[in-house]
Structure 1
Amino acid sequence: MSNISVLLPVAATSDPDGLHRAHRSIAEQTTPPAEIVLVTNQPITEEVETTISDLVDTNSVSRHEHFPDAQGLGGVLQAGLKKCTEPFVARMDADDISEPERFAEQLIVLKETEADIVGSHLAEFHDDPEQPERTREVPTSHDEIAEWMPWRCPMNHPTTMFNREAVLNAGGYRDFPMMEDWDLWARCLAAGLQFRNLDQTLVRAEVNDLVDRRGGLDYAKAEIQMAWELRELNIASLKDTLQHLALRIPPRLLPQQVREAVYQIFAR
């Protein structure tokens, strides 16, 4: 066992088969975690509830924490983070697959370098995990990550592992719909935390209806709110903010087919 907690949110819409697959990829790590914390904050279907119960009953390090008063994904992640007991926390989603060596390699970085938060590239697939359709590549060094932060999220959230205490001291997660991760990383950067991404693809994520989810007026409003926060944190200059809005708002409002073409080009 290691000193790693896995923080895994489960939604009412989570696919039981995908959840089993995600959990198996955690349990089969070359460096297994000390605990797997499955968190919920909304009523879940009987099928999903049965799946969670099966995972908890058959794996001694797994447990389920329910937070009915937590607001949104950010709220349930913050509540779950506070319940994690190990010094390092790995994020996973219920439709992710972690490569067997993921935790081992990220733990080395956190223990042997100044990094507080480490992630990796992320492969996206629709039906077949062995046939990813694209890879979301991210910068690797802290300086490059800081350069991206004012206008583009530089971390793939489901790939991250971080120092629990350092992230909580920076404020942890909060309810910031559709931008929970970028919001967190921006505040961590402003607090002086160190970042790194491994130049490897350590997680595969199943993605459904990606283009629809990334478009629409609500997403455009979230982009504006995020741009404003980056200015308030003194991470983004006025030029950065204008670039952010000019590059990211229009694609959110485009028709689906056009938006898909843009996403294929920029992969984020």
Structure 2
Amino acid sequence: MKKRLIALSASAAALVFTLSACSGGGSDSGGDTPDSGTPSGTAISHIHGVGIHPSDGKLYVATHNGVYTPDKNGGPQLVGDRKDDFMGFAIGKDGSFLASGHPAPGRDAPANLGLIESTDTGRTWKDKSLSGEVDFHALDQAHGRVYGYDSTNGLLRVSKDGVTWEKRGELRALDIAVSPDDPDTVLATTESGLVRSTDGGRTFGPGAKPLMAYVSWTAPRALYGIDPTGRLNLSGDGGKSWKEVGTVPGGRPQALTAVDATRLVAATQDGVYESGDGGRTFTKRLDVSSGGGH
């Protein structure tokens, strides 16, 4: 039985990491589906990031076909008019959005968007750096720095201003998280397990179990990780030990963001869910049509 469970975990991990790359230029798979039965007549899929705006608590969801927020009926409403493939996505403490990815089909832009920024909650975007060079699949902001997993080149990059970047260690990862206490402690989810760096991402140690697909670390003693099957885990010691606290409904995970020590948002195959009690219970915030994440 133990060997079978290990095999199942490995298969789930392979599935998550195989689906971790969207093609450049944006494809027509996934995305909006008219008359899907949601209140707005729109369905979303292929979620790459979720976040809560710090001032008004509004939910934003970055997808393969644009950034969405719940409308007055609870259905997904497109923010702005850009339906790009938004990959890495993060909302800063000041409410600004950072993202990366690929342009929508037919839009005149480089295949890799580099780092882009919005200061009006996603209605408009401006190029910030690395346009045409990099597709960040994961972004984190901490200690006045931007940390980005550059999937184009398979390495971690770090910047103090989002413009000038330092290349750090090489790795193949799905998600990253930075310690809220220490700018040099960086975690990354990989096929071999959770890897840790204590030198700012220049080098990483071996993978450790349990296997995690996504991690989010906002409060010092509240590191959250979701495994490839949707089980949510909590670590109070920076990932050295874990306790399972619940299961996010809806199947395979697509994104995870911890707002604080007890509030978190997670996207799975059938919905975007929010918890206010540390992952013990969840409320669906948006419907999601079946489709892969990242």
TM-score bin, normalised by smaller chain: under 0.3
Higher relative contact order (CA 8 A, sep 6+): 1
Higher strand share: 2
Higher helix share: 1
